[in-house]
Structure formats: C-alpha cells, structure tokens
Amino acid sequence: MEEKDIKENTSLAVSENDVPEIIGSQFTVMQEYKENLDIAKKKAIEAQTHALGSSEKKTGVFKNKTAIESLQETTLSLADAQLIAAEAQEKSFEYQKKLAEITKYLFGLGVSNIAANRCVVRELEMRLSNAKEEEIDELAREEIKNLVRELKLQEDIMQKQSNLNEKLKSLDDKIKEFEGNKEEKDSYIKSLEIKIEDLEDEIHFLKSENVKVKREMNNKKYKILFYIFIGVAIVSLVAFILSIIALALKK
C-alpha cells in the first residue's frame, strides 16, 4: 500500500473482517522495503570487500603501469563502495520511514473503535508470533510490539470513555424522565387547582342559595304567623259578636 493509500484509508471506516487483509498488505509492503534494504546492504558489503581487496594488491617497484592501473581500480572500487553504502543508507532511511508510516496507519485503524482495536491487536500479535526473523527484523518487531502496547493502552482509555458515556447517557435519561414527570405533575396540579376553583365557586353558589332559601323561609314563616294572627283575631271577634248576640237574646 502506497503512502497516498495509507493517508486516504486512515479516514475511512473499515470493517473488522477487512483488518487481517489490510494488516497483511502492510506487512507485505514492509517486507518489500526490508528486502530492498537487505539487497543494498549486501551490495555495500561486497563493494567494500572488493575495494579492500583491491587496495591490498601489491605491485613491483618498476611495474609503474600495473601500479597505476591497480590504484585506479582501487579508487573506483572505493568510489563504488561509497555510492553503494550511500544507497544502502538511503534504503535504510526509506525502510524506517515506511515502517513509521505503517505503524501510524495501523494505530489510526486500531483507535477507530474498541472492536477494531482488539482485532488489530489480535492480528499483530499473531503475526509477530508466526513471523520468521528474515520476514520481520528486530527494528520492525520492536516497533510492532510498541504499537501493540499503545493500542492496548488506548483500548483501556476507550473502554473507560465508553463506560463514562453510558453513565452520562443514563443520567441524561433520568433527567429527561424527571423533567417529563415534573411536567406531568405540574399539569396534574394545575388541573386540581382548576377543580378546586370550580368547587369553591359551587360552594359559594350554594351558600348564596342557602341564604336565599333561609330568607324565603323566614318570609314564609312570617307570613304564616301573620295569617294565623289574623285568623285568631277574626275568630275572637266572631266569638265576641256571638256572645253579645246571645246576651241580647236572653234579655
């Protein structure tokens, strides 16, 4: 996977099923860079050996032509050795740079979520245990071990964050539930207040009606008493008249 692909894929959501294939491709790239580095190192060693061999050749004092040719050969061999050594250094730098890019990419892949983190860690540990020394050198092995440690620490942090988010969500739900219950209670209390006001109005009305009834009853009572008084007076008057008539008739 090239550098451009690495940068583009870091921001993409990756399925857990794709993780082994992705890591496999990264290991393939890493091995290719390692092979190029090994070839460059081998060439550098061969060139250095050849240069040393050329410099140790002895020529006679009077064999000027041979001595000059030998010196030229030695000079060229040393120059080639330096160029190849420089190339080996460049390959070494490229390898280390690519190794850093790959570990950075895999770290980004692992911290996308807890499930991806565990999948990346599991795959890396399996490849470390199964990889031969010629497939992964000591530098890469240490980098991957450090990556696994960092991912495990990150998993612990993500797990704690997830737990805190769950607690926060639970508290938020309780607050919303409380607010909902408060609205229901406020609405219920308001309806009771309205009912109380209606009852108070009815009680006031009944009191008014009671006063009216009492007043009417009192008026009726007074009327009855008045009628009784008139009736008694009439009866008394009639009796008085009858008694006078009776006395008159006796005479």
Decide if 186 is inside a domain: no
Q: Which amino acid is at 104?
A: K
Decide if 181 is inside a domain: no
114, pLDDT greater than 80: yes
Contact 127, 148 (CB under 8 A): no
- Rounded Cα gap, residues 186 and 1, in angstroms: 64
- Rounded Cα gap, residues 144 and 128, in angstroms: 8
Region 64-78: mean pLDDT is 58
100, pLDDT greater than 80: yes
Q: State both tokens at 135.
A: 């497939």
pLDDT at 10: 45
Decide if 207 is inside a domain: no
Region 20-43: mean pLDDT is 78
Region 225-240: mean pLDDT is 73
Region 37-63: mean pLDDT is 63
Decide if 136 is inside a domain: yes
pLDDT at 81: 64
Name which residue leads in pLDDT, 55 or 232: 232
* Burial degree of 170 (CB within 10 A; 0-12, 13-18, 19+): exposed
pLDDT at 62: 46
Give the range among 2-16, 195-209, 212-226 with minimum mean pLDDT.
2-16
Region 88-112: mean pLDDT is 81
Decide if 211 is inside a domain: no
- Rounded Cα gap, residues 120 and 13, in angstroms: 14
Residues in Cβ contact with 144 at an 8 Å cutoff, skipping those fewer than 6 apart: 103, 124, 127, 128, 136
Total domain count for the chain?
1
Region 229-245: mean pLDDT is 74
Structural domain containing residue 114: 3-172
Decide if 225 is inside a domain: no
pLDDT at 175: 75
pLDDT at 72: 60
pLDDT at 14: 62
Decide if 219 is inside a domain: no
Decide if 239 is inside a domain: no
**Across the chain, what does the average pLDDT equal?**
74
Contact 115, 16 (CB under 8 A): yes
Region 212-240: mean pLDDT is 71
